[in-house]
Structure formats: structure tokens, C-alpha cells
């Protein structure tokens, strides 16, 4: 599997976790710099912008389905705010 395909699969599988460029790069056995360049060339998106867009897309789908807990949808879309997890 190519590094970009591997990165995309990993991002989709771990979308709700605290992904960052280094984490995805380690999974693909490639340097963060190389991944950032390859990813942008292949997809037209920087890695973190792609991750943010996918999270927001998932949040929009959840809201459209009428989930009862809007705060949880917001927290799932941005898992890097641990202070808010106990609300």
C-alpha cells in the first residue's frame, strides 16, 4: 500500500482520536516533512486541514441525523480540548 493510501486509511480509522501530522507519519513509516509534501501533492490538501475537514464533515452528518447531544458532536469534531471533556 502506498504511503498516501496508508495515511488516508489511518486517518479515517482514527478520526475521533487526537491525530496530528507526527502520528500519521509514524504510522506510515515516513518523516512528517515527507508526508506533508506527498499528501499535499497527492490530495491537494495539507494533512491537518484534511483531518479538520473530515471531522467537520462527520459532525455535519451527525447534526443532520438529529443527534440529541450537540456538545458531544462538537467535542468529537475537536478532540484536542481535554478541559471540556468532563462537561
Q: Where are the domains of the chain?
A: 3-84
In the block, cell 447534526 appears at: 63
Q: According to the model, what pLDDT value does residue 85 have?
A: 46
Residue 87 has pLDDT above 50, yes or no: no
> What does the pLDDT read at residue 44?
96
3-state per-residue secondary structure call for the chain: CCHHHHHHHHHHHCCCCCCCHHHHHHHHCCCHHHHHHHHHHHHCCCHHHHHHHHHHHHHHHHHHHCCCCHHHHHHHHCCCCHHHCCC
CATH architecture under which domain 3-84 falls: Orthogonal Bundle (1.10)
Read off the pLDDT of residues 41-71 as tens digits, 9 standing for 90 and up: 999 999 999 999 999 899 888 888 888 788 7
Given a cut of 80, whether residue 40 has pLDDT beyond it is yes
Asked if pLDDT for residue 80 goes beyond 60, the answer is yes
Percent of the chain with pLDDT over 90: 55
Residue that wins the pLDDT comparison between 31 and 73: 31
CA 59 vs CA 8, 41, 44, 68: distances in Å: 19, 27, 22, 13
Amino acid at each position: 500500500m502506498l504511503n498516501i493510501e496508508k495515511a488516508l486509511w489511518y486517518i479515517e480509522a482514527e478520526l475521533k482520536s487526537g491525530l496530528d501530522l507526527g502520528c500519521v507519519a509514524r504510522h506510515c513509516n515516513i518523516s512528517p516533512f515527507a508526508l506533508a509534501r506527498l499528501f499535499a501533492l497527492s490530495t491537494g490538501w495539507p494533512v491537518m486541514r484534511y483531518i479538520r475537514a473530515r471531522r467537520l464533515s462527520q459532525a455535519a452528518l451527525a447534526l443532520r441525523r438529529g443527534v440529541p447531544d450537540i456538545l458531544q458532536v462538537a467535542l468529537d469534531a475537536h478532540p484536542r480540548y481535554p478541559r471540556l471533556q468532563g462537561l
